[in-house]
Amino acid sequence: MLKRLLMILALFAVAAHAKDNQIDVNTWHLAVGVGLGKASNPLHGGDDIPLVVLPDIAYYGERFYFDNGQVGYSLSQDSHYSLSMISELNPEKRFFVFWHPSNFFLPMALNSETKIAESVTVNQVKKRRWALDAGLEYQYFSDNFTLKLNWLFDISGVYNDDRAAIEFEGQSQFGSIIISPAIGLHYQSQGLNQYYYGVEQQSLFYDGYRSGSSLSPYFKLQLTWPLTQSSALFIKTSYDDYSSLRRSPLFKENAAMSFFVGMKYIF
């Protein structure tokens, strides 16, 4: 029922590209953040990722756009909303590899008689493949906030299921400091969670772990101090709650966090 509701919202809610006010049409937007930070990995055997350089690459045409790993085509738009077809790599893969755009760009009940290992590392499970997702993104924006809803499904045949999200992003200014908080909720299907976080039976004494669908809230915050027209000092942090998947023996932490502070240079 929840999945159907999120799909309907993604199709019929009101939304828009907040960046329409910032990026000229038919122009590449190129910027890079240089500083220090870290993205944590909540899985056993997964290394935290040092963040030193964060590229920011975007292009918006009349209909087609590319924005930091996401490719889209606008089906309908005006000054307050945009409905687009989008495609991007599934972000859950980032915990199993070092290189993933999400790292760099700006539960089912368990039977009490089932023996589950206390922990399983990413090196002890089968290799997780890349998944390419596609679907619809519908946004609404005003001067002070952006509301975004999307629904995507696996078009690469990797996990053969879907995911959805809703996000509310605000923007305010305190003196010369631009404050951009965002709060959202991810819906992850049973097929997605089972592929990335389920654990298959490996012996007569280990029955494995089967995951269900989940809801994962998240929070993001960016503070920006413009210094010149082409440079700014900025701080960004994020928190993704994975507590709904805490029964998976792959997880050592209930959340994935990131923090970065540095300079942003616009070209």
pLDDT of residue 27: 86
Mean pLDDT, the chain, whole residue set: 84
Of the candidates 257, 261, 248, 262, which has an alpha carbon nearest to the alpha carbon of residue 200?
248
Query: Hey, what are 1's tokens?
Result: 């029922």
Give yes or no for residue 50 having a pLDDT over 60.
yes
Higher pLDDT, 118 or 235: 235
The string of pLDDT tens digits covering residues 159-200 is 999 999 999 999 999 999 999 999 999 999 999 999 999 987
Q: What is the mean pLDDT of residues 120-143?
A: 90
Q: How do the domains of the chain map onto residue ranges?
A: 2-266
pTM: 0.80
Q: What is the mean pLDDT of residues 229-238?
A: 96
Topology (CATH level 3) of domain 2-266 = Porin (2.40.160)
How large a percentage of the chain has pLDDT more than 70?
81
The CA distance from 233 to 22, in Å, is: 18
pLDDT of residue 108: 36
Higher pLDDT, 209 or 96: 96
Strand partners, 153: 134, 162
What confidence tier does 206 reach under pLDDT thresholds 50, 70, 90?
low
Please provide the distance, in angstroms rounded to a whole number, between the alpha carbons at the two ends of the chain.
46
Give yes or no for residue 118 having a pLDDT over 70.
no
pLDDT of residue 178: 96
Residue matched to tokens 């679907």: 135
Q: What is the mean pLDDT of residues 123-147?
A: 91
Of the candidates 211, 217, 208, which has an alpha carbon nearest to the alpha carbon of residue 242?
217
Residue matched to tokens 């631009």: 178
pLDDT of residue 143: 86
3-class SS letters over the chain: CHHHHHHHHHHHCCECCHHHHCCCCCEEEEEEEEEEEEECCCECCCCCEEEEEEEEEEEECCCEEEECCEEEEEEEECCCEEEEEEEEECHHHHHCCCCCHHHHCCCCCCCCCCCCCCCCCHHHCCCCCCCEEEEEEEEEECCCEEEEEEEEEECCCCCCCEEEEEEEEECEEECCEEEEEEEEEEEECHHHHHHHHCECCCECCECCECCCCEEEEEEEEEEEEEEECCEEEEEEEEEEECHHHCCCCCECCCEEEEEEEEEEEEC
